[in-house]
Amino acid sequence: MQQRRVLLVFLMLLFTVFSANASDKIHKIQTGESLFSIFSDKLSAATILNLEKEIKRVVPDFTLRIGTIVKISPASVTISPDSLTDISVNLLDDDFNLEVTNHPVHTVTTIAHGVVESSLTDAMVKAGEGIELAFMLADIYEWEIDFFHALRKGDSFSVLVEKKFAKDRFIGYGKILAADFVNQGRFLRALYYEYNGVKGYYDVDGKSLKKGFLKAPLKFTRISSTYTGKRLHPVLNRYIPHHGVDYAAPVGTPIHATSDGVVLNREYNQFNGNYVKIRHLNGYETLYLHLSKFAKIRKGSKVSQGSVIGYVGSTGISTGPHLDYRIKQYGKFLNPLTFTSPNLKLPKSQRTAFKEAVKPLVAKINTAYGRDVRFTLLRNSHMRSDGSLM
């Protein structure tokens, strides 16, 4: 008899829990909704106004954005304005009690490994990761790999990356701590290191992967015409030199300065259309032709490597939207695809500290490779003969 009573009480409690959960409603904020539309059937207008003031007092940057998750139950409403915050409104007749929970962020380090079949983004997705990690990886190697000209089927990558979790859910990536990329048989290792406020990625010898010039001024597009001393011009219909590289891309694609410098020209002419010329150190100049419009720059503006200077267009003599990108040194045109950018290095005072700091990163990323893979990398790269990747 006693056992039957215990079982009955347990079933009643279980029914109560499931009944309560069944009455909960998960809602995503839609256009035009507000705190008033959420609480109009629960609190008076004056109380809702006080609630809004109290929420903004304890969460100053609170905004009820479209897509915000709201959990509604008979006794409470929980608003989750972001992945780290829950604002619980406990209902007390025409009054409320407010509780704010700030969830901690947990960071774990994992390795992602993939092989390129068609594109870096597709390979990253097939590896079970987000597209944003592909862009992070491309940012690290943008001085070494032209991702729209030099990427090949069979290229591979391994990434040691921080992943952030809150409320047992993945909320985003932290830093890439180390990465390997095999591009056309060339092995490239990147190791994260920071000193005196300077942060960056370096190879095993302490050379920065960041160069004086980016490999290309656009991301993820294709080359439609290369540098040549003689080309049949598609509009003028005669053979003339083509002193740049044409990157075909949709109108409005951002164009980035490939190095720090000063804007010499920001103007229009009938041949180049809207174009920008930038002067850099050591006699270098870069030119960006056929822009649809300029960014917020003017003649004399200082620009940083990677900053947006304009947008792809088809102005001037052009058969379609593209960027004609050119490099000069002391007045002589250079081939942007074969141009070798100057290397940057860690100062000598940091090299010993760098070697010690990256040892655990090297040990972790080396675990991504089995013996057969390690042998293949050794054969096709510049690894040490003992099979180590550093």
DSSP classification of residue 105: P
Paired residues of 161 in beta bridges: 110, 176
Kindly state the tokens that stand for 131. Answer: 């597209």
Number of H helices, E strands in the chain: 7, 24
Give the per-residue pLDDT at 371: 47
Query: What is the pLDDT confidence band of residue 390, given thresholds at 50, 70 and 90?
Result: very low
Give pLDDT tens digits for 198-224. Answer: 888 999 999 888 888 888 899 766 888
Task: Select the more confidently predicted residue: 14 or 42.
Answer: 42
> Closest by alpha carbon to 361, among 326, 321, 324, 389?
389
Out of 3.60.140.10, 3.30.390.10, 3.40.630.30, 3.10.450.350, the CATH code matching 105-211+344-390 is 3.10.450.350
Q: Residue 309's CB: how many other CB atoms inside 10 A?
A: 24
Q: What is 20-102's CATH number?
A: 3.10.450.350
First to last CA, the chain: 72
**Largest pairwise CA distance in the chain:** 103
Burial of 26: CB neighbours in 10 Å, binned 0-12, 13-18, 19+: exposed
Give pLDDT tens digits for 119-163. Answer: 999 999 999 999 999 999 998 998 888 787 788 999 999 999 999
Please work out, in degrees rounded to the nearest 5, the angle formed at the alpha carbon of residue 57 by the alpha carbons of 52 and 62.
65
Q: What is the mean pLDDT of residues 286-300?
A: 96
Q: What is the mean pLDDT of residues 30-56?
A: 91
Q: Residue 140's CB: how many other CB atoms inside 10 A?
A: 20
Give the per-residue pLDDT at 92: 87
Give pLDDT tens digits for 227-267. Answer: 876 655 565 566 668 888 999 999 999 999 999 899 999 99
Kindly state the tokens that stand for 216. Answer: 């290309």
Contacts by 117-120 with C-beta closer than 8 Å and gap 24+?
Answer: 117/153, 118/153, 119/151, 119/220, 120/147, 120/151, 120/157
Distance in angstroms (rounded) separating the CA atoms of residues 366 and 267? 51
Paired residues of 222 in beta bridges: 248
The CATH 2.70.70.10 portion of the chain extends over 222-334
Give the per-residue pLDDT at 233: 58
Give the per-residue pLDDT at 198: 81
Query: Is the pLDDT at 10 greater than 70, yes or no?
Result: no
Q: β-pairing, 25-28 with 69-72?
A: antiparallel
Task: Select the more confidently predicted residue: 17 or 301.
Answer: 301
92-96, 181-185, 190-194: lowest mean pLDDT where? 92-96
Which H or E run contains 114? strand 106-115
Which H or E run contains 33? none
Q: What is the mean pLDDT of the chain?
A: 85
Residue 196 falls in which region: left (phi positive, over 0), alpha (psi -120 to 50) or beta: left
Give the per-residue pLDDT at 150: 81
Give the per-residue pLDDT at 223: 87
The CATH 3.10.450.350 portion of the chain extends over 20-102, 105-211+344-390
Give the per-residue pLDDT at 309: 97
Query: Is the pLDDT at 7 greater than 60, yes or no?
Result: no
Task: Select the more confidently predicted residue: 249 or 343.
Answer: 249
Query: Is the pLDDT at 35 greater than 50, yes or no?
Result: yes
18-27, 55-64, 155-164: lowest mean pLDDT where? 18-27
Give the per-residue pLDDT at 193: 95
The model carries a pTM of: 0.61
Out of 2.60.120.10, 3.30.360.10, 3.40.140.10, 2.70.70.10, the CATH code matching 222-334 is 2.70.70.10
14-28, 84-98, 157-171: lowest mean pLDDT where? 14-28
Give the per-residue pLDDT at 197: 82
Kindly state the tokens that stand for 298. Answer: 């003017």
Task: Select the more confidently predicted residue: 331 or 24.
Answer: 331
Query: Is the pLDDT at 189 greater than 80, yes or no?
Result: yes
Distance in angstroms (rounded) separating the CA atoms of residues 47 and 45? 5
Give the per-residue pLDDT at 331: 92
**DSSP per residue, 220-283:** S-EEEE--EEEEE-TTT-SEEEE-SEEEE--TT-EEE-SSSEEEEEEEEETTTEEEEEEE-GGG
- Looking at residue 139, its amino acid is D
Kindly state the tokens that stand for 258. Answer: 């490939």
> Closest by alpha carbon to 258, among 180, 170, 155, 336?
336
17-31, 162-176, 358-372: lowest mean pLDDT where? 17-31
83-92, 162-171, 180-189, 228-237: lowest mean pLDDT where? 228-237
Give the per-residue pLDDT at 15: 46
Give the per-residue pLDDT at 388: 46
- Looking at residue 343, its amino acid is N
Distance in angstroms (rounded) separating the CA atoms of residues 138 and 188? 13
Query: Is the pLDDT at 379 greater than 50, yes or no?
Result: no
Give the per-residue pLDDT at 230: 60
